[in-house]
Chain A
Amino acid sequence: MKNLRIFFVLIIPFLASGQELSAVSTKTAILNDAKYREIGLFQPFRFALSDNLEFATHPVLFFILPNLQIKKNYRMTPALNIASQHHLCYPTPLLKMLAREGTGGIIAAEFKKNIPNMFSLYNGILVSREISARHLVTLKTGIKLGLNAGSLDSRTSIDLPVVFQRMAVFYEGFGLQYGVNIITRIQQKIFSDATVELFHFPGAEENLALEYSQLYSWLRNDRFQLSGGFKVVWGEYPFGKQTHLLPLFDIKWKFQ
């Protein structure tokens, strides 16, 4: 016990503050300073318009999946942060592209003409608290609305993990999301980023899904981050319940 106290006394001055811990993840309520930008191999391009307002969009996907995310921070104390998060997405062009004959046809071509204009709008709250110098915990809750300009045939669903849960809102009208994220500094430049998310679609036949993702990130410097890990998805699908284990990998470049 004494050794442990000595360890903390020695190490605490070198440990990151909440802001530094949040630098490895975009799932917290903490935002970066104005003019901060980052882009990932699979993550969207983020840019901080001011110290408490951040925009994000996936530049490559934008042309087939127009999307915009806004995060606004209402900082309360250095140890406790609250932010609101808003996503707008227009998946119609992507779905029409995936509705095709032959290899790569994810949706049957017979439905191509009947895919309406659709938008999803997510509004949520993030609360982040630094529970120790090494741990940052974020709680999340939100509601996602699916706004369709016409009826969408249920046979267009893509019954794959991750995708099915994110498209369900267009068939069910709305969905609720809850999540917990814990960032832990393991070593000076190595972080653990664990997230549990629950998707709930009240009234739907397939109304639950749970995702657990575990990422390990190496922050080489302020500008480069390498991440790898896995995601476990348990979900209800039209054919029954199923669990999948998926790999996660990303590279991020950051600019100030």
Chain B
Amino acid sequence: MKELSILIIALVLFSACEPLVNTFERGQNLDTYQAKKVMEADPPETIRFMTWNIRFGAGRTNWFGDSCGDRVILPESEVKENLQKLANLINTVQPDILFLQEIDIESKRTAYIDQVEWLLNHTHLNYGVYASMWDAQYVPSDGLGRVNTGNAILSRWKIKDAQRIQLPLRSDQDALTQYFYLRRNMLKCHIEFPGIDDFYAVCVHLAAFSTDNTKQKQIEKILTELADLQDAKIFLGGDFNLLPPGSDSLDFCDEDACPDETFHRGKITDKSYHKEGSNYAPEIHYMEPLYQHYNPAVPLERYLAHQLSYFTHSTRWQEGFWDRKIDYLFSNLQWRAGSDSTYQEDAFNDRLSDHVPVSVEWKVEK
């Protein structure tokens, strides 16, 4: 009977006007936003960039999908409280361009709050653009229901020519799972900064749980797209789900294991030997081309010398501090030396997200 009801619901939805899942095969008309109150400012001498995976405003709650929890659908009051905390830190840091990942605009899990609109109306930022990575009318699993989550760029200045560029899909999934699964993207837009014609902001979020070379293909796609911008001023930020080359710890299976899970048993070639997405060893060189072609906000030498200070992620906050770096800012220009910040304490103490925001400044060169 259970199967019959699922089948009927699936049949009904498959035959509805809109497809059950947006596969973005025809591209996406990007949602653009403007704050209710636009706060114009004189062009500054330095521009501050910030990247943050905000975990859809769920804070550090034990969500079922990524932290061994049992929570699925959050109440509106809790989401708004979390969003207010995110807005407080954004208003403290005062970024001019903000790259956001895992931001919901129409998801049942976050009370259908349009978080891009909400953050624009509760911060100093004026304009926004959103590109979905998961747009499903109904996910008939775990009570998730409707989901629309993705990447966004928020800016003090107007945004134009925004483009959603599809990144390669995970190639280690069966067709049905892949149909319902996330479609990672690269959000590229032109910022109308006064006096600069070729100012590009790019936000990315790479695959999290792939066990093959999907992330490498996604990096290659990003590099190809960036190369097409030629001599433009490029600022790239996002959650790459990859460690910097040379990192000390590469295997987080034990750290990420849920209480009923054990790893590193049996043969190393077994699929269950590692937890999906927790063993970075085979991928450790994937970030090298980015470090070679672009300037990171945190130079590799400095990171390697003081790794703990630059960690930006952990899966479970109860069991320790941040334990790996997977969030980055890059540019083809030189960042202002020593202007980077990794807000570990703020994000940890206020349980803002499972990611730490990172910021850096660029001295305007017209």
Contact = CB atoms under 8 A, between A and B. Distances in A.
Contact of A110 (B5, B12, B72, B141): B72
Contact of A109 (B13, B112, B143): B143
B16 A101 contact: no
B366 to A, nearest CB: 43
A59 to B, nearest CB: 12
A102 B5 CA distance: 15
A160 B112 contact: no
Does more than half of chain B's interface fall in helix, strand or loop, or is it mixed?
loop
Nearest to B176: A103
Given A159-B145, A243-B17, A246-B12, A105 B140 contact: yes
A155 interface: yes
Interface in B129-146: 138, 140-146
Contact of A102 (B12, B111, B112, B142): B142
B140 A104 contact: yes
Contacts of A103: 6, 140-141
B64 A101 contact: yes
Interface string A88-119: 00000010011111111111111100000000
Nearest to B7: A104
Given A99-B143, A109-B70, A244-B16, A155 B1 contact: no
Interface string B1-41: 11101100101110111100000000000000000000000
For chain A, the bracket of interface size reads: 35 or more
A109 B73 contact: no
Contacts of B111: 238
Contacts of A247: 11-12, 15
Contact of A105 (B71, B75, B112, B141): B141
Contacts of A108: 72-73, 142-144
Contacts of B106: 239-240
B325 interface: no
A161 interface: yes
A220 B243 CA distance: 68
A64 interface: yes
Interface string A189-223: 00000000000000000000000000000000000
Contacts of A239: 106, 108, 112, 146
B17 A245 contact: yes
B2 A104 contact: yes
A160 to B, nearest CB: 6
A11 interface: no
Contacts of B5: 94, 98, 106
A105 to B, nearest CB: 4
Given A97-B2, A98-B5, A161 B16 contact: yes
A240 B145 CA distance: 14
Contact of B141 (A104, A111, A162): A104
A34 interface: no
Nearest to B75: A155
A60 interface: yes
Contacts of A105: 140-144
A241 to B, nearest CB: 13
A246 B16 contact: yes
Contacts of B13: 160
Contact of B17 (A61, A99, A101, A244): A244
B140 A106 contact: yes
B108 to A, nearest CB: 6
Given A106-B9, A108-B72, A239-B112, A101 B142 contact: yes
26 contacts: A61-B1, A63-B1, A98-B2, A99-B143, A102-B141, A102-B142, A103-B6, A103-B141, A104-B6, A105-B141, A106-B5, A106-B9, A106-B140, A106-B143, A109-B70, A155-B73, A155-B75, A155-B108, A159-B138, A160-B9, A160-B138, A163-B9, A238-B108, A238-B112, A243-B17, A244-B17
Interface of A: 60-61, 63-64, 94, 97-111, 155, 158-163, 238-240, 243-247
Across the A-B interface, give the 9 residue pairs with the lowest CB-CB distance, nearest first: A108-B143, A108-B72, A155-B73, A239-B112, A244-B16, A105-B142, A107-B143, A105-B143, A104-B6
Interface of B: 1-3, 5-6, 9, 11-13, 15-18, 64, 70-73, 75, 106, 108, 111-112, 138, 140-146
